[in-house]
Structure 1
């Protein structure tokens, strides 16, 4: 098979397209003939040799990627034979191997792909979709919600805009540049603004005033830095600041936007990080990730949520990483063999 391999930690150019041995499924596993592989911002950090609370150092050489979709073409010992030939999608968890024409995973991680979704859309929902639904557990979205969504053209941002609009709420979507801003507007945002323009906060204030709204009720913050601070400054008393990333501050040295208890009390707002164990505890159940994955796929299958996908050929994984790191992508980035 062909796969993307990483032999040395470093820049995107270190990802190479190579021919390598076909993987063999073990007991309770399946092999998937991959038609779509998900690319996550975390993949770019792991490529550089970084680690964090949700990742361990990769053993080199490695095949990156933790989200795959395709057709089951081989079974390991004691694996349910009904999986053979089925279209499936799976999040591989901590085990990489997704940037390839063939990938192996435990049958317990599989989900059938709904007929109404293509494989790239299923990839978007198995990772980005499940994270979005986890974030929304903290949001209490209603028709009275006034949400500010930085990075509204991204995979999570696209779904957040749709979810709030489906509930009858008001959405202010921020994105970088006119092309992305146009996509946010087409996705249903009530106001779509370019955060690169310094007057965007004043435009939000004017919009809220025209509608008789005292301020935003929630900020979905995946960017941190100055954009997030300006958005949080637009929160009304009682508003929420939900943190699930800080891409605007840089992967290597960035930090999330945080507030002291005194600052929060003075503003009468709350600020909360919703990543990792906090999200899993909120989701509850014996397998919270799988619960979120199942619901995410169902919402997409019914058309209630529509993931945005940007496809790259598998051989161009290095370009996909480069574009993702430099905010040159929209929606979920997917590699197609």
Structure 2
């Protein structure tokens, strides 16, 4: 079968297509005939060698932490009824950029009728995270909600969820295409954080006090600026680090202003909670109540191009490999 391997840590050019033996399902496992593999921002970070304290992968390895496709075979102890079903599933820290992938049967989630495999793949990680973040923030109708990275896969879902909860949404992103998308999905205002006065624009949009809730998917100085304009008594989720690191928020300043800060650890769900969230978001999407934004797709052999596009910050919504 064809796979994409990261031959070493480095730029997108380290991703090469090669042949590998077909996998065999062990006890408690299945083999999935992969149709779609989502490309996550964290995939690009791991490829560069970032996150060694969290991730154990060493080159050469097959990137990709999830897949959507059809169950091809089942291992010992697995219900044979799974064979032939369309599913989405995590694959662990590696193995998704391949024509076939091994996955634990306990993590399989059947794709509901009315939802395509690309849409299911786009929601596998970002949908789970978006719902978990929204639940944790307890958004109330009429609150101002600021979402950074609003044009990305996760941010575009958060815009929809906050809007559906009755919030007044401000989408922050870089570039007109992403700002237009945020407005299309329900944002009342949209600001470009490449402009130096963007925090003042957010304050003006809220009438002065700043947002009640912040979902920061960027980190670094942008995340810190978002915290600094959060209203007193507000809530901040500092879960993103595409800038190179999470926003370094002073806990004493947060306490002084009565701002509750949640970090990346609050979206590390238990297997049971993660599965519940994925099943719910797939159901919502199948019913047409939430829409994953698939901005660009690439064939498997162009995985390096997919990574390069993400590195260049030129993508919108979710990036997928079609296999």
Output the TM-score relative to the length of structure 2: 0.93
Gap change, CA 1:51 and 1:229, over 3 Å in 2 = closer
> 1-side partners of 2:232 and 2:288: how far apart?
34
Figure out how many residues of one structure are paired with residues of the other and give that number: 322
Equivalent residue runs for 1:53-68 within 5 Å: 53-58=53-58, 60-68=59-67
Partner of 2:24: 24
Which whole-Å CA distance do the structure 1 matches of 2:140 and 2:46 have between them? 37
1:98–1:265 Cα change, 3 Å? closer
Give deviations 1:287-309, integer Å, cap 9, x for gaps.
Answer: 22222222222222222221112
Does the CA contact (< 8 Å) of 2:217 and 2:239 recur in 1? yes
- How far apart, CA to CA, are the structure 1 residues paired with 2:17 and 2:198? 42
- Residues 233 and 255 (structure 1 numbering): CA distance in 2 closer, same or farther, change over 3 Å? closer
RMSD of Structure 2 on Structure 1 (CA): 1.9
Q: How does 1:214-229 map to 2 (within 5 A)?
A: 214-229=209-224
- Pairing of 1:126-275 with structure 2 (within 5 A): 126-209=124-207, 214-248=209-243, 250=244, 254-261=245-252, 263-273=253-263, 275=264
**Separation of aligned partners in 2, 1:293 and 1:222:** 20
Aligned mates of 1:62, 1:223 — CA distance in 2: 27
TM-score normalised to structure 1 length: 0.89
1:52 shift after superposition: 4.4
Which portions of structure 1, spanning 4 or more consecutive aligned residues, are displaced by more than 4 angstroms?
A: none
Q: Unpaired segments of 5 or more residues in structure 1?
A: none
Counting only pairs closer than 5 Å after superposition, residues 30-69 of structure 1 correspond to structure 2 as: 30-58=30-58, 60-69=59-68
The 3 A distance-change label for structure 1 pair 2 and 244 is: same
In the TM superposition, what is the alpha-carbon distance from 1:279 to its structure 2 partner? 3.7
Q: Distance in 1 between matches of 2:246 and 2:177?
A: 28
**Contact 1:50 1:57 (C-alpha < 8 Å) held by counterparts:** no
User: Is the 1:5–1:61 contact (alpha carbons within 8 Å) kept by the matching residues of 2?
Assistant: yes
Secondary structure of the equivalent of 1:203?
helix
Structure 2 segments unaligned to the other structure (5+ residues): none
How much does 1:9 deviate? Answer: 1.8
3-state SS of 1:182 partner: helix
Question: Alpha-carbon deviation of 1:255?
Answer: 4.1
